[in-house]
Structure formats: structure tokens, C-alpha cells
Structure 1
Amino acid sequence: MTRLYHVPLSPFCRKVRLTLAEKKVEVELVEERYWEQDPEFLRRNPAAKVPVIRLNGKTMTESQAICEYLEDTIPEPRLMPKDPEARYEVRRLCAWFDDKFHAEVTSKLVYERVNKKMMKQGYPDSKNVKFGAVRIKYHLDYMHWLLESRRWLAGNEMTLADFAAAAHLSSLDYISDVDWNRSQTVKDWYAKIKSRPSFRSLLADQVSGFPPPAHYADLDF
């Protein structure tokens, strides 16, 4: 069976989990405390990062590369368009969320509030938390702008771009750091993707010491 070494609230792991579930690939989830630098884990990935997947006899790392490998080897259902320009837009938005959104929001909120405690690195840095709380507004507004002219983030079909965005927002929603009242358009998009069967395992996540809010697993918010 496919095995995924992951951390529950890692958006990069969540993006891979969504892709696997959408492709109907059964997977064994193994929670990996990567910060402990376990020698066995370092043999799997010397970069000491998750996700790491064991698939088809191969060990693979880096979430975007894993997701595109799954797309190439399990083409249905499609999560990347056929048109080169449309594929570019999907990759651009995946990079937007995994780089810019992560640096400005996820790392400032989820990592400060949750990861620091798990890693026993002290208390959240209030400046980082405030910065993340301000920047998420900008990103929600950008998503609103995209969705005003598209059914999904990268176009009229659901793609990996939607999974990248939903992976980050679901991690933030677990700790009640998304103002869903800021944009009904974005809220409707999230409700639509949150209702997919591939999202069920994410909604069942439980992180010790951090109970999710009541609305987290509620498909109707």
C-alpha cells in the first residue's frame, strides 16, 4: 500500500492527501515528527521535510512534484488542464499558495500557534501572528477577485490550484484563523471543495492539544 509520512496540519501534506483521495489511491498515513531528525526518516529524505511518499516502490518528496507525478501516472480524474496556458496558470497559483501565501500567512499563524508548541520552541511571536492576520485579508481578496470571473481558482475546472489553496485554508480554519465573512464568493468556493469526498480525511483530523472549532467539519459552516 502507498504510505505517506505527514504532519496533519501541514498544507503541503494536505495537498498530497487531497490529490491521492481524488485519484482514489488508498494510503497509509504515518505521522512523522520531522523536527526530531530521526535517522530513519533522514534516510528517506535528507532535507528533513514532509511530505514523503512511498509509492510504486519509489520514495518521493516535495508536494508539487508528488502531485504532478500522480497526475501523470493516474490521469483520471484530471487535475491539470491539457492546454499549456491553462497548465501554466495552475502551476502559477500552486506556487502562489505554497510560496507567497505560506510565507506570509500559514507560517505566521499555524506554525506560530501550533508548530512551536509541538516542537517545544516556546510561545507564538505576536508580531508574526499580527502580520499573518493582516496578510490573509489580502490573499482572501485576491481569491475573491479570481473567483469573480472563474468557477474555480485557475479556470472553469477544479485543479491542483484549488487543492493547494484549500490545503492552506483548511489548516488555518482548524485554528479559526479564516474570516469567512470577508468574501461570500470565497466561502462558497471553500464549501464546494470541502464537500468533496476527498476532503473527508482532512475534516477528521485531530491534533492533540488543539481541538478544532465546531464549524471545522461542518459542511454548511
Structure 2
Amino acid sequence: MATLYHHWLSPAARFVRVLVMEKRLDVTLRLEKEWERRQAFLALNPAGEVPVLVMDDGSAYSGALAIAEYLEDTIAEPALMPENPDGRYEVRRLLGWFHTKLGTEVTRLIVSEKLFKRFLGMGEPDSDSVRCAAQNLKTHLRYIGHLASRRHYLAGPVFTMADAAAAAHISVADYFGDIAWDAWPDAKDWYMRVKSRRSIRALLADRIPGLVPPPHYGDPDF
């Protein structure tokens, strides 16, 4: 069985977890605390970052987007990329938006300030960074709502990697109770749709010891 090295609130790892569930690839999840810099893990990925997917034959694949392409190339069904070039372009554009822009402006700040500083004894969260992440999050929720109001899913009529990427990041922010969902009805409707999927529900079952999410976190009908 393949092994996926991940961390609870790594959006990149969450993204790949959704993809392997959608592709129905049996994997064993292995929690990897990246900050420990284990030599055995560095041998798999010198960058020292999750996710890392190790296949049955020992081949190791790192980098969330590279793993996504590998899975799409090797497991044809169900397809998570459109067949036509314009559709594939749109999914790739949104992958860049969520993993780069949303990740830089929101989730990296949230995880650094609200998780790592707390559990690694790095001091109190920086209030300016937290406020910045909260303000940026509004922009991204507005954009998700804009897309969702025009399409059933973010890149078109069916669930794609774009939805997996957005859900991976949004679920991290939601774990900390940072989203006032009633203010974002279109984004909420989209998130309710993706939360009903088995692949997303598996993510939402995770709990970090000593850090409890809000009551609505795992509820698809919130």
C-alpha cells in the first residue's frame, strides 16, 4: 500500500489527500512533523516538506502540484482535470491562485501564527499578521463566491482539482473559526457541496490534540 506523509493543517498535504481519496488510491497516512527535520524524511524529500507520496515500489513523489499531475497521468478515472485545453487552463490558473496567492496571503500566516507559535513555544501570535490574514481571507471568500455563483463548482460544472485546492486551504482557516460564513452565502453554498464529498469529510474528521475546531467544522449542512 502507498504511504502519504502529511501534516494535519498543511493545505498542500490536504489537497493531495483529497486527490488520492477521489482517485480511490489506498494509502496509509503518516503524520510528519516537518520541523523535526528527520533524516529519513529528508531522504525522501530534501526540501523537508509534506506531502510526500511513496508508492508500493518505493518511488517517492513530492510537491503537491507535481503529485497531482502524476496521479492524473497514472489513474485516469475519475478525471479531475477537464479534457479540453481551455478547461485545463482554468483549473491550472485556479490551482496557482489558491496554492500561491491564498496560501501566501492567508493560510501560511494563520498556521504560522496560530499553530506553530503555540505548539512550538515561539511566542504570542503577531496581531498584525493575524489581522492581515483575516482581511485577505475576505478577498478570497468574495472571489470564491463570485466563481460559485456562476458555476456549480469553481472551474465549471464538475468537481476538479481547483475545488480540492480551495477546500484544502479554506478548511484550514475554518478549523480556527476564522470564517463568518453567513456573510458569504455563495461561498458557503459551494463549501457545503464539497463538504458532502467523502474525500473532504475525511479531512474534516482530523482533530489536533489540544486544539478544538468550531462546532460547525465537520458538518456538511452548517
Regarding TM over 0.5, the answer is yes
Q: Residues of 1 paired with 2:93 and 2:180: CA distance?
A: 25
Displacement of 1:56 in angstroms is: 4.3
Structure 1 equivalent of residue 79 of structure 2: 78
Verify the 8 A CA contact 1:2 1:56 in the aligned structure 2.
yes
Structure 2 equivalent of residue 189 of structure 1: 190
Q: Residues of 1 paired with 2:113 and 2:178: CA distance?
A: 12
Displacement of 1:10 in angstroms is: 0.7
Structure 2 equivalent of residue 46 of structure 1: 46
Structure 1 segments, 4+ long, off by >4 Å, are none
Displacement of 1:14 in angstroms is: 0.5
Question: Does the residue aligned with 1:124 lie in a helix, a strand or coil?
Answer: coil
Q: Residues of 2 paired with 1:63 and 1:119: CA distance?
A: 25
Q: Residues of 2 paired with 1:59 and 1:8: CA distance?
A: 20
Q: Which amino acid aligns with 1:210?
A: L
Identity value in percent: 48
Structure 2 equivalent of residue 205 of structure 1: 206
Q: Residues of 2 paired with 1:214 and 1:103: CA distance?
A: 27
RMSD: 1.1
How many residues were matched structurally?
221
Question: Does the residue aligned with 1:81 lie in a helix, a strand or coil?
Answer: coil
Q: Residues of 2 paired with 1:122 and 1:28: CA distance?
A: 34
Structure 2 equivalent of residue 30 of structure 1: 30
Displacement of 1:145 in angstroms is: 1.3
Verify the 8 A CA contact 1:109 1:177 in the aligned structure 2.
no
Q: Residues of 1 paired with 2:71 and 2:120: CA distance?
A: 31
Verify the 8 A CA contact 1:34 1:48 in the aligned structure 2.
yes
Structure 1 equivalent of residue 98 of structure 2: 97
Gaps of 5+ in 1: none
Q: Residues of 2 paired with 1:111 and 1:156: CA distance?
A: 35
TM-score by length of 2: 0.96
Displacement of 1:117 in angstroms is: 2.1
Q: Residues of 1 paired with 2:80 and 2:162: CA distance?
A: 9
Q: Which amino acid aligns with 1:112?
A: E
Q: Residues of 1 paired with 2:149 and 2:216: CA distance?
A: 25
Verify the 8 A CA contact 2:11 2:169 in the aligned structure 1.
yes
- What are the superposed Cα offsets for residues 101-137 of structure 1, whole Å, 9 maximum, x if unpaired? 0111111223210122233322211110000000111
Cα distance, 1:107–1:55 mapped onto 2, change above 3 Å: same
| Matched ranges for 1:7-22 at <5 A | 7-22=7-22
Structure 1 equivalent of residue 110 of structure 2: 109
Gaps of 5+ in 2: none
